[in-house]
Structure 1
Amino acid sequence: MNASRWAVPASYFSMVLGLTGLGNGWRVAARLWGFPAWIGETVMAVAVTVWAVLLLRFAIKWIAAREAAKAEAAHPILCCFIALVPVATMLAGIGVLPHAHGVGTGIILAGAAASLLFGLWRHGGQWRGGRDEKTTTTVLYLPTVGANLVSAIAMSALGWPTWGQLFFGAGVLAWIVQESIILGRLLTVEPLPLTLRPTVGIQMAPPAVSLLAYAAVTTGPPDLVARMLLGYAIVQALMVLRLMPWIRQPFTLSYWAFTFGATAISTGTMRFAERGDDPVFTTLAPALFVMSNVVIAGLSVASVLWVLRAKPASASAPAPASAATAPAAPTDRAPMR
């Protein structure tokens, strides 16, 4: 077996986040505007298929290319992308849930448990200090902020919003604490390497996913907190848009880092538009829904063209290139105990 063939970077799972995000958006659109329900289910089917293929290849990677897998897990930047594996698993479970409740529940619970354990392992190790400030990027949000917020959404999908509120609190507070650290690095340390710049798109995800999670764990019409989260998510999205000339580089799959924030802000706005005749949410919901579809459609077409050009896996994500530009901190090379 050619081991390198299976060396799929964990960052590939960002495709699942974007596709499931769009599928959930179409599910809400079917309720809100009467769109055909089959569209959302078709998108979800594609997302779950992509998840299953990637999960299989990622598992085989740990058998056939174990050294590459261990190097990814030990790297101070690349390791955080591994959080996308259980996060994508929970989202795939949400996709399956309406069609096979027992199977979907099992997938969600497995993803939530793995997500929590990975976040404890990853961030618990970082508390020992010694981290190189150049390795601080937006991917630090993934193991705690993204993982906990998606767990909140998943618990609500299972009908357990009270448990979801625990994860919501963990995710939001982790976001508030970590954002100051990440922005401090972006503002005061040398610019990100070219291959890592698309990950700046993750910066819009915490408020957008917080909005969606808040909609999942609460009831009633939009309130002040919902408007605050939506407002900040829009500002972050505009900030990322302003940086596109700086981020811009030849297409790689790393651009999927933009997608979960783009779909979450859309779906969160639509879910609140369902729950009350609020002029802000009802006005913005259609525009944001169109935006999310354009983003995912554009990236999907670009990804297919990229695959047809048969680029090597090492050029497909920021991971391998960043490994050369961001030295591992001693504590990140040491095994976690």
Structure 2
Amino acid sequence: MQTMAAVQKQRSIGSIQFLPVNLFAAVMGISGLSLAWRQASKAFGISTAIADSCGMIAVLIFIVLGVGYLTKWFLYPQRVKAEFNHPITGNFFGTIPIAILLLSTVIGMYSERSGQALWVTGTTLALILCVVFVSRLLNGNLEPVHKVPATLVPVVGTLDIPVAGGTMPFPWAHEINLMSLAIGGIVALVYITLIFSRLAHHAPMPPGLTPSLIIMIAPFEVGFLGYTNFEQRIDPFASLLYYFGLFLFIVLFFKVFRKSIPFSASWWGISFPIAALTNAALKYGMYVDSWPLIAVSVLLLALLSIVIVVLFVRTVSMLVNGSLLKG
């Protein structure tokens, strides 16, 4: 009877073997929300309670997903291998080191050494994954239709290294950050070109992949944050990155936010790019000290907060009704 009950329960909530790796994007989005509210607290003199709460939630979700995915890897290694080798889904493994890098900043607010340890771990994983996925690109015989925005995720991971570690005290951190900016910036330019070509010359992406279009703003806004953290200043080049990312977001917003696109775990892919844009807008608005730009940053913070809440509620609903972990 107990065995039958366990089987029935597994059927009702799904199986760990179907845990999607792209759920780690939730950690990225919520961490980004925490960092955005922390910026807002400094800029507008408001409480850090929201930033602290979001940070704790991001840490808890990462622990749960980390344990869950390690369990999947142990019990169903072939499924993990198939997911990693998939030309589209495999790119979302880049969400893991990015999540670690962002958590290094979140946790670093409370424990400097823990933040540094996480940054070293995330940096190592991000650089390794970037090597793997660029190598795949150069193997040849890739289908043009597989060059979707999600292919940017492992690349954006290298740009996040200086975002999280721009002020790391290690004597070698300066060169690692500079190298990461070089790799992420140039490779992102190559990938953006391939993605624009695919979107312009081939059939539209399936509805399930449409939300990932927002990922295209990430190299510009994450690049802005990484570059300004590294340089410790905002110059015209940084401004160009910010403004083009904002322009691209406006163009893509009306293509993504449509009722006809069904909800799935892949929608979490929009959270971190919007979080990067919001953090960049807050930083740039405070630098320029212009009320229209500050207003834009406030609107983006409100949008990001609403998006994260909606994604969280709908994901929990999918988990409860069994559709999230269903094959």
TM-score of the two chains, using structure 1 as the length reference: 0.86
Q: How does 1:62-81 map to 2 (within 5 A)?
A: 62-81=73-92
Evaluate the alpha carbon distance shift between residue 64 and residue 12 of structure 1 in structure 2; reply closer, same or farther with a 3 A threshold. same
- In structure 2, the residue matched to 1:141 is 152
Aligned to 2:53: 42
User: Scaled by the length of structure 2, what TM-score is found?
Assistant: 0.88
User: How far has the Cα of 1:312 moved from its partner?
Assistant: 4.2
Larger mean CA deviation between 96-105 and 176-185 belongs to 96-105
Aligned to 1:211: 224
Pick from 125, 129, 145: which aligns with 1:118? 129
| Corresponding residue to 1:150 among 145, 151, 160 | 160
- Aligned-pair distance for 1:58? 1.3
Per the alignment, do residues 309 and 4 of structure 1 end up closer, same or farther by CA in structure 2, a change over 3 Å counting?
closer
Secondary structure in 2 aligned to 1:185? helix
Question: Which AA in structure 2 matches 1:153?
Answer: V
Distance apart, 1:276 and its partner CA: 4.7
Structure 2 spans left out of the alignment, 5+ residues: 1-5
Whether the aligned pair in 1 keeps the contact of 2:165 and 2:177 (CA below 8 Å) is yes
Once residues 123 and 284 of structure 1 are traced to their aligned partners in structure 2, the CA distance between those partners, rounded to angstroms, is: 35
Structure 1: give runs of 5+ residues left out of the alignment: 316-337
Distance 1:282 1:194, change over 3 A: closer
Pick from 10, 15, 19 the counterpart of residue 21 of structure 2.
10
Q: Answer whether contact 1:161 1:216 (CA < 8 A) is retained.
A: no
Separation of aligned partners in 2, 1:244 and 1:97: 34
Contact residue 16 and residue 68 of structure 2 kept, 8 A: no
Moved more, 297-306 or 125-134: 297-306
Match of 1:33 in 2: 44
Change (3 A) 1:43 1:104: same
CA-CA distance at 1:279 after TM superposition: 5.5
In structure 2, what is the equivalent of residue 239 of structure 1?
Answer: 251
Map residues 255-294 of structure 1 onto 2, 5 A cutoff.
255-278=267-290, 281-294=293-306
Deviations 1:197-251 (A, max 9, x none): 222221222212222223322223x432232122211221112222136784221
CA gap of 1:134–1:96, structure 2 versus 1, over 3 A, is same
Looking at structure 1, the residues matched to 203 and 217 of structure 2 have their Cα atoms a distance apart, in angstroms, of 21
- Listed one character per residue, the Cα deviations across residues 43-95 of structure 1 (whole Å, up to 9, x for unaligned) are 01100111111111111211101110011111111111111111111112221
Query: Deviations for 1:99-140, whole angstroms, at most 9, x for unmatched residues?
Result: 122122111111110111111122213311011122111111
| 1:284 CA drift (Å) | 2.5
Aligned to 1:128: 139
Q: Shift of residue 161 of structure 1?
A: 5.5
**Cα RMSD (Å):** 2.2
CA distance in 2, matches of 1:148, 1:278: 31
Q: Distance in 2 between matches of 1:182 and 1:210?
A: 18
- Amino acid in structure 1 at the alignment position of 2:261: Q
Q: Give the whole-Å Cα distance in 2 for the aligned partners of 1:259 and 1:63.
A: 29
**SS of equivalent residue, structure 2 residue 166:** helix
Aligned-pair identity in percent equals 21
Distance 1:138 1:56, change over 3 A: same
Q: Distance in 2 between matches of 1:268 and 1:161?
A: 21
The worse-fitting range, judged by mean Cα deviation, of 306-315 and 283-292 is 306-315
Q: 2:3 maps to what in 1?
A: none
Give the whole-Å Cα distance in 1 for the aligned partners of 2:249 and 2:259.
14
Alpha-carbon distance in structure 2 between the residues aligned to 1:116 and 1:135: 22
Alignment partner of 2:279: what SS? Answer: helix
The farther-off stretch of 193-202 and 154-163 is: 154-163
Instruction: Tell me the matched-pair count.
Output: 313
**Is 2:35–2:279's contact at 8 Å kept on the other side of the alignment?**
yes
